[in-house]
Amino acid sequence: MPAALDGIRMLDMAWQGPGVFCATLLGDLGVDVIKVYEAHPERRGGPLAFMYPDVAFFPGWRNCKTMGLNLKDEEGLRIFYQLAEGADVIIEGFRPGVTRRLRVDYDTMKKVNPRLVYASLTGYGQNGPYRDYVGHDINYISVGGLLGTTRLPDGPPVIPRTVLADFAAGGMATAVGILAALMAREKTGAGQYVDVAMADAVVALMMPVILPCLMDQVVSEQGETIATGERPRPWYNVYETKDGKHISVGAVEPWFYANLCQLLGREDFAEHQFAEGEKREEIQQYFTSAFLSKTRDEWLEILRRKDTCVSPVYGPHEVVRDPQLLAREMIVELDHPVLGKAKQIGTMLKLSESPLEARCWSQRFGQHTDEILHELGYDDARIRKLREADVVG
């Protein structure tokens, strides 16, 4: 079966976290992703060093080709323009203004190929007073209000374990924007510019918390919402169990809450789901004590006899063994040309006629440079000269 986006080519100049997530998502859907970066990033060291020696296990490099290209060199720039003539998408993650200096900005590239969809992925976007500020995930979730409300009552903000602005917000928003622009191109024949700011995308994720502010409602900054165990709510909370593990309860609907109370041995609590004051405190204390009487898995066996909205609170090593996630192929084993079978995180998108397939792997930086140049008509002698001149890597 052909991949869903087979035939679409993307030039990827957004090598950091959100760009990697976007490229992985689109690459799994069939986009021919060519990661274009400077000819010799390993010489710079620092954060780029991890990209060079071995990226075989990293999902962000599957279904992607890598090419080293010096855009500050006239010949390197010409090669990039040649690639852009046959491309559908360009994505870049530089600070605003950098691509203009490199002469690969949208205004320049749409003259090379008017059908190009060109996506810029930055922290704060291409305009506004913060446009030139540097930052990382922690900064964007701060400005977007997520970090300030991710805390226990009267406690400091807690940094999430994963990069929400990079992946859940920025990377995914960029993929959606690119797909929308490609669909629009089917109607108009022309590409367009996609401006994605991770801070913007975080604000969109914060809709349930921010909307009440827009309606002049009082909103707590202590993380006290229904979704975070409001003050706390016994029926929407996290509880420690006898074995030191935790279980999450989300019995929002009254019928789920009634089932929970019955299985916990206190059917009389069912009519007091929204009680305040001493009654709520009584229920909270009982639930806390009850969950400490059995192990997490014992409670799961009991509470899953009826609909109660409960789940185990996993650490990473338990996630990769969970039978539901394995059944959904979120952990997959793919053939790797060097490693043999390699376990990977699967794709969150399930298409009936276009399943995930690892079409190619990158095991080292610049692995596909010669292959791509051959496609453009360069022979081995010319490629060798380009390497000697540090135009490609």
User: pLDDT tens across 7-16, in order?
Assistant: 999 999 998 8
Question: Cα–Cα distance between 216 and 140 in angstroms, integer?
Answer: 24
Question: Cα–Cα distance between 14 and 25 in angstroms, integer?
Answer: 14
- Which has more pLDDT, 273 or 52? 273
The pLDDT assigned to 44 comes to 58
Closest CA to 120 of 62, 211, 192: 192
- Under CATH, domain 226-240+246-312 is a member of which superfamily? formyl-coa transferase, domain 3 (3.30.1540.10)
**CATH 3.30.1540.10 domain locations along the chain:** 226-240+246-312
The pLDDT assigned to 15 comes to 81
Cα 238 from chain centroid? Answer: 25
pTM of the model: 0.88
DSSP letter assigned to residue 269: G
User: pLDDT tens across 38-76, in order?
Assistant: 887 666 554 444 444 454 456 567 888 999 999 999 999
Among 58-62, 269-273, 316-320, 365-369, the range scoring the smallest mean pLDDT is 58-62
User: pLDDT tens across 109-162, in order?
Assistant: 999 999 999 999 999 999 999 999 999 999 999 999 888 888 777 778 888 888
How far is CA 374 from each of CA 122, 368, 378, 381, 384, rounded to the nearest angstrom?
33, 10, 5, 11, 12
List active site positions.
Answer: 136, 166
Closest CA to 89 of 34, 133, 132, 128: 34
The pLDDT assigned to 238 comes to 94
Question: Cα–Cα distance between 258 and 274 in angstroms, integer?
Answer: 12
For 332, the 3-state DSSP assignment is strand
Is the pLDDT at 260 greater than 80? The verdict is yes
CB neighbour list of residue 6: distance below 8 Å, 6 or more residues apart: 30
**Is the domain defined by 9-204+329-388 classed in CATH 3.40.50.300?**
no
Is the pLDDT at 92 greater than 80? The verdict is yes
**CATH 3.40.50.10540 domain locations along the chain:** 9-204+329-388
Is the pLDDT at 333 greater than 90? The verdict is no
The pLDDT assigned to 17 comes to 85
The per-residue pLDDT of the chain, averaged, comes to: 89
- Which has more pLDDT, 268 or 56? 268
Residues 209-226: what's their mean pLDDT? Answer: 68
The percentage of the chain sitting over the pLDDT mark of 70, rounded to a whole number, equals 91
Helix (H) or strand (E) holding 356: none
